[in-house]
Amino acid sequence: MVNSSKGQKQALDLNCLTIKELEKHAAVMMDKQTRDYYNEGADSGSTLLENIEAYAKYRIRPRVLRDISQIDTSASIFGFRNSFPLGVAPTAMQCLAHQDGEIATARACKEMRVIMGLSSFATSTLEAVAEASGDIPNVLQLYLFEERDHSRKLIARAKKAGYKAVFLTVDTPMLGRRNLEIRNQFKLPRHLKIANFDEDTNSDASATVMDGTGSSSEPQGGKKSEATSSTRRQSSAGYHDGERRHPPSGPITFHTHAANPTLSWERDIAWLKKEAAPMEVWVKGIATAEDALLAVHHSVDGIVVSNHGGRQLNGALATLDALPEVVAAVGGKIPVHVDGGVRHGTDIFKALALGADFVWIGRPVLWGLAYKGQQGVELCLKLLADEFRLCMGLAGTIKVEDINKDYLVKMDRSGFISRL
């Protein structure tokens, strides 16, 4: 048994001492459809890989003889003291990994004092997750549906259940091309449900989650003609009748219930802020200084620098490489978080040194869930919390606020080192 910084006791799992080992153990627990869906990135997967590799370009400058006997790893989020500056990013359909799905994740988060984001494509209801979270604040990830009434209902339920914030995902106006999903004809198994959709829209339990072609009949890239775009809306996201929108019928797909190519700063952020108040409204999926400035201009409460774990635009910048320009543009006006490729405690330290206030992890939690349900998620969080604490101490920092760019250098391909 080992003692963590919070005094919780948890047995070390000698078979699984790193996130890399967790990934390996999880791989054999999942069927091929699930493993491919969780693990793959868009297209060649280069952005997924670069999210991870970007961390290796930075090296830590440790300071010594600093009395690090009292390390406080905690970080504040929505007025809550999170045990370390990391949260569980929203990932869809966690019941694919383990029968207890999001509820197991929420219980593990409660145990480890870590915040969790719930996907709008969750396989557990947002009320049940809030209940399982106890005193840990809840965040709901949103796709803004073309069917506004559905979004309105979801937001009202989140408010009622005490959610503190919504994270509007903005990097998915279309679904990225994931070739293994297409080849496997990925479907949600019959016994699972997208839990927060209305019963009537969810009546086809064999819901196809992807439509199998990435973007169906739409031409890839280029400007869509009005005719093409309205055809798409009719065929996959319900149909328009003047200003009235009718709910789509048939199986739930990302295209019918999430992909919304019409979203814009001017109209939709204002609508969401009004609708979601008093919950905070964050945007998840910012990757440039320009959009960060727009986010501040439109009074969002915070930003998550993200490329959806390399599942959307392949060839986009790794999130750690996009972070500095976003941090500079925001200039401390609102919090800046980052996700993508965090696999070590030292990665958390590096992201904070580059100006992030907090990081989120996606796949490692899914691997924990697949490995051992709640216990596996706790293990995942504990490995990262312990590694982060050790990194803080060995680098000579005792508070999260101490971590800044003086602790980092960047090394280029030829080994040339530069101060930040």
Instruction: Give the residue numbers annotated as catalytic, written as ranges.
Output: 308
Nearer to ligand 173 by C-beta: 35 or 389? 35
Within 98-238, residue ranges assigned H as helices are 101-112, 126-133, 148-160, 179-184, 226-236
Long-range contacts formed by 98-102: CB under 8 A, 24+ apart: 98/369, 98/370, 98/373, 98/376, 99/373, 100/373, 100/374, 101/369, 102/128, 102/129
Q: How far is the CB of 40 from ligand FMN (least distance, A)?
A: 8
Query: Containing H/E element for 418?
Result: strand 417-419
Nearer to ligand FMN by C-beta: 91 or 374? 91
Nearer to ligand FMN by C-beta: 37 or 84? 37
Distances (CA, A) of 278 to 152, 274, 291: 14, 9, 24
Nearer to ligand FMN by C-beta: 121 or 371? 121
Site for ligand 173 in 205-264 (CB under 6 A): 209, 254, 258
Q: How far is the CB of 418 from ligand FMN (least distance, A)?
A: 26
Residue with the two structure tokens 């005490």: 162
Binding-residue pattern over the window 69 to 88 for ligand FMN, x denoting contact by CB under 6 A:
--------------------
Q: How far apart are CA 326 and CA 111, in angstroms?
A: 33
Using N-to-C axis directions, what is the helix angle for 32-39 and 363-395, rounded to 10°? 50
Q: How far is the CB of 303 from ligand FMN (least distance, A)?
A: 13
- DSSP character for 100? T
Q: How far is the CB of 334 from ligand FMN (least distance, A)?
A: 19
Amino acid at 405: K
Give the range of 18-26, 221-229, 340-348, 406-414 binding ligand FMN by CB under 6 A: 340-348
Q: How many residues bind ligand FMN (CB under 6 A)?
A: 23
Amino acid at 215: S
Question: What is the three-state SS of 205-216?
Answer: CCCCCCCCCCCC
Site for ligand FMN in 248-287 (CB under 6 A): 284
Nearer to ligand FMN by C-beta: 122 or 237? 122
Q: How far is the CB of 314 from ligand 173 (least distance, A)?
A: 13
Tell me which residues touch ligand 173 (CB under 6 A). Answer: 92, 121, 209, 254, 258, 308, 311
Tell me which residues touch ligand FMN (CB under 6 A). Answer: 37-38, 51, 89-92, 119, 121, 141, 169, 284, 306, 308-309, 311, 339-342, 361-363
